[in-house]
Every structure is written in structure tokens, then in C-alpha cells.
Amino acid sequence: MAKYAPILLIFASFAFTSSAGEHHALKRSPQGWTVPLEQLGFDGSLERLPEPRDWQIKQVSSYDRAGGNKDDEYGHQVYEGGVVLADLEGPGVVTRIWTRNPHGTIYIYVDDMEHPVISVPFRDLFSGGLEYWSPGFNLFAPPFTGEGTGGYFSYVPIPYEQRCRIIVAVEEDTLAYQVTYADFPDGTAIRSFELALSQDDVRFFRKWAKRWEGVDLRHPKRKETLHHSRHKYRPGKNSMVFPIEGPAVLTEIELVLQSNDPDIADGTWIAIYFDGQKSPGVLAPIGDFFGASTKDAIDHNNLVIGKHGERMWCRYPMPFHESAAIHFITMSEQIADIEYFLTWQPGPVEDLEYFFARYNSGVSEEGKSYRVAEIHGDGHYVGTTIAAANADTLTFLEGDDVYMIDGASGADFHGTGTDDYFNAGWYFAAGTFDAPTHGTTLKLATAPAGFSAFRSHITEPVPFKSSFVFDLEHGPTNNRPGVAYSSVAYWYQREALPQVWPIAEINGVAVDRP
């Protein structure tokens, strides 16, 4: 990309930047700027994840526009001495900032402010060591920010009413980054970001932190029902586990495999039928569904999926009006001995969308991306688990993630690499890692090389009106054939019976509801 002439406003602003320790002079608002965020559902919670969205989630990144592998030379605007990461028109909110090589100084301008609201060394934004002025609360710290296996991430929301500019002053203009943001319709009530936190703001972020740290997951004040049992499921059967009457929201599925045999985890599929669906809305091997697609995967504790030993769980909310029927389909030759716990919350679900999760697999082909998901209808995408195996080297991770929303080309939502999609970097540099929204559960660096990882779009679910396609490249130009992929896509959709893709592994197996 050609370099642009320096922007006078930028350099004028640089001359007046202040350090983090000088922000104590900012005037605090009488009501928190986070109040509209909570009303819109941008609070890190799971309960509102099934709600329909009337805004868009977009992303700007440094991906190589020429189709190659120079994913750190294509900033939104590059000029001598700096990179404009994003220049966004409001109303909106930045939901995520990621980079694998933070250097220089980051400046974030909101609306028509003459001076940046944030001006710190870029690496410090993720370190947890910033002590911006607030009443006993460090905002830019875990669980909102962090570093994990080669990548740096921040999920601190930055709302803006009119405009948000994110600029990094660097001596070298090579900078790999992604900025994910919500683009609201004109007139959406929003209040712009402030470093000074009111009591409303502190309360908002403390609740959010408790959720992401696993302190407040059970919602004890709400009426929930728990069903617990244990059964043995014989090979070649589509067996109902338990039927639930609605209206209700299935809030947690927990399984304990009484045998750690990988054939049972791979050969036993979970199928869930909502409101009379003939074909299941949820269909995947139980290992892949819970983010444990291989017996070598580490224990992990994502906010929505997790594994500890032989225990696995999923907390994506699953609303239904009339009924939910959970089945196990056993395709291995062994008996599956499974203990299970089902938790649901009775109540109205009129405005909530149906939950879907579907498996896919394939071997990469020269010149062709691996398709993670192809969805038709009206809904929003909320997460992915992906595993890959049998590669000669990890260079296939150079392949970018590409979203094509409502028929768009994908240029507006193009990532910078497979590992980067999972908030990691440098081929999962530090190995395995987990955080509230993402994690890497396996890394094999030598042949047969591979990985397994997951990411949940809790704060940036991606809405679509007619279609959503998720393609994953392999290698810089889809030039690493022979890599064996498997994946599970998670999303919400208005229609109970949408068109879904066929699954090769279950051809000839009776998965339609008996």
C-alpha cells in the first residue's frame, strides 16, 4: 500500500498527549458511560447472546491486500512514522483489539477530542500494569486484556458517538493487527468512552469480570432446573437422553465420559432437536462440540465450553418454545458410558433465536479454502472450534480467516492468519493457553503437525440477514494441501429449520428424529 502524507491533525495532537498518570484530572460523568452498553447487551454476559441484533459487526485488519503473506504492512493508512489502525464513524463501539507485535505508542481519539483519551506504549495496553485513574479498579487488565501464546488482545469496549481513530506511532510501519467493532444504526443511544469511571461503570465492569473469571456463572437467584443421570449407550443407536418441555432456555450441558477412550469421544455424537425439528439443530461429535477434539487436548475453561479430565461442558444458552430433545448417536463399536447434567431455566423466550452447532471436516486442497460454515437465513455467528492434523509443518497457519456476510466478498472482514483468529500469533508461539473467550488446547510443531483451538464471539457476535460463510485459508495462498481439518460452528438463527450442510461422517446414519 502506498504511504500517505502525514496528517497534520495527528502530529498536532501528538504534541499535546499526556501520560496515563495524568488522566486523574478528567471530569467524571454523573451517570456511567457504560449504561447504554449494558442496555444493548455489550456486557460480557451469556444470557443475552440469543437476542437478535440490529447492528453490524465489522473488522479492519492489516491483511495483505495483494493476496500474499505480508500481513503486517497494510494498515488502514500508513504514513512516515505511524499507522492508522482504524478510522471509524459512529455511533459504534470497538469490541476487540489484537496484535502479535505491539510496538510504538498507541493513541485513541474519541469524537472531536483534541487530545487522545488513551496514549501509552502499545504493549502496555495489554500488560495489566496500567493504572489509569478509577476508584480501585484497573480496567486494562485481565480478564479484559492479556497476552497468550504469541498474541495480545483487549476486549475493553470503547464506545464512540461520532468517530474513533486508533493510531500507532512507530519507527517501523510493519504492524500486524485486527480491530473488531460494532457499527450501530444512526440514532442509537450510546455514550462515548471515558477513562474516568463512575460508580455505574465500576459496577458494570466488576460484574463482567466476575462472569469471565467464573465467579458468577450459576445465577443462583434465578429459577433453574437440574436433571442428572448416567446411562450406557450401545453402538449404532440414536438414543434420546432426556426431553425437556418449554418454554425454557437450556443453560448448561455437562457430560462425564466414564472412559477416556478417544474412539468413544469421536464416535459418540450429540444431537439436539428444538421445537419439533426433524433434523437436529445441534449435531457434532462430543469431543469437537466441547472443544476437546483430541485426547491430547489440555483441560480448558472457556466461558462457554470447557473440559477438565473426563468432564466437559457447554454453556451457550439454547432457547426453545415447546420442547428440547437431547440425543446421543453412537457410531463407534464401543459402549458409551456417560454421566450427564442438564440445566435449564423455564420462562418466556419470544424474542430469542434458536441455537445451532454443526460439525464439518475435510482435507485441504490446492487453491481452495477450507469451509468452516455456510449458513443461510437471518441470525448471528457466535463461535468456532477448529482442529487440524497431518501437516508437514505449521506454515498452513499462514492461511487467513475470511467472513462473507450477506453475499459480500469478504474484503471487509478478513483476518491475518489462522492462529491470529484465536487471539494468538507466531504459530501459537507459547503452546497451549486458555482465556475466557478463546484458547489453544493442542500444538504439534513437527510432522505430523497440527493444533486445536476455540474462540467464542461473546462481545462481538456477527449478525447476518441472508447468509454467512466462514472460509479458512491454508498457507499464504491456499498452497498447503493435505491438512486434515475438523471444526464446529456455533450460531443463532430465527428459523428453526434452516438449510444446513451435509456431514460426510454421518452419511447413511439415521440422525433425523425418530
The DSSP symbol for 71 reads: T
The DSSP symbol for 226 reads: E
**Above 50 in pLDDT, residue 14?**
no
pLDDT of residue 19: 39
Band (135; pLDDT cuts 50, 70, 90): low
pLDDT of residue 171: 81
Question: For 217-227, what is each residue's pLDDT tens digit?
Answer: 544 446 899 99
**Above 80 in pLDDT, residue 20?**
no
- As a whole number of angstroms, the distance between CA 497 and CA 488 comes to 18
pLDDT of residue 81: 83
Q: In Å, what is the CA distance from 52 to each residue of 271, 287, 355?
A: 24, 29, 12
Percent of the chain scoring above 70 in pLDDT: 90
**Average pLDDT score over residue span 325-354:** 93
- Least confident among 103-107, 133-137, 211-215: 133-137
Band (314; pLDDT cuts 50, 70, 90): very high
**Above 80 in pLDDT, residue 10?**
no
Cβ within 8 Å of residue 80, ≥6 positions away: 3, 6, 173
**Above 50 in pLDDT, residue 26?**
no
- Least confident among 44-58, 275-289, 295-309: 295-309
DSSP readout, 330-382? E-SSS-EEEEEEEEEEES--TTPPEEEEEEEEEE-BTTB-EEEEEEESSEEEE
pLDDT of residue 174: 85
Could you tell me which of 246, 300, 322, 235 has the C-alpha nearest to residue 439? 300
The sign one gets for the Cα dihedral 227, 230, 231, 232 is: positive
Question: For 77-131, what is each residue's pLDDT tens digit?
Answer: 777 788 999 999 999 999 999 999 999 999 999 998 889 999 999 999 998 877 6
Backbone angles phi, psi at 289, to 5 degrees: -60, -35
Band (70; pLDDT cuts 50, 70, 90): confident
**Above 90 in pLDDT, residue 352?**
yes
pLDDT of residue 56: 95
Question: For 388-405, what is each residue's pLDDT tens digit?
Answer: 999 999 999 999 999 999
**Above 90 in pLDDT, residue 292?**
no
pLDDT of residue 488: 97
Q: In Å, what is the CA distance from 284 to each residue of 183, 308, 328, 469?
A: 33, 19, 10, 19
- Least confident among 9-13, 103-107, 221-225, 228-232: 9-13
Band (23; pLDDT cuts 50, 70, 90): very low
pLDDT of residue 217: 53
**Above 80 in pLDDT, residue 510?**
no
Q: Mean of the per-residue pLDDT values for the chain?
A: 88
SS3 of 421, please? helix
Q: In Å, what is the CA distance from 178 to each residue of 95, 241, 363?
A: 11, 42, 28
- As a whole number of angstroms, the distance between CA 91 and CA 159 comes to 8
- As a whole number of angstroms, the distance between CA 459 and CA 419 comes to 20
Among 2.60.120.1390, 3.20.20.150, 3.50.50.60, 3.80.10.10, name the CATH number for the domain at 8-212: 2.60.120.1390
- pTM over 0.75? The answer is yes
- Least confident among 9-23, 167-181, 320-334: 9-23
**Average pLDDT score over residue span 338-354:** 95
Among 3.40.50.1460, 2.60.120.1390, 3.30.300.130, 3.40.630.30, name the CATH number for the domain at 233-506: 2.60.120.1390
pLDDT of residue 259: 73
pLDDT of residue 444: 95
Instruction: Please list the residue range(s) of the chain that carry CATH number 2.60.120.1390.
Output: 8-212, 233-506
pLDDT of residue 455: 96
pLDDT of residue 5: 37
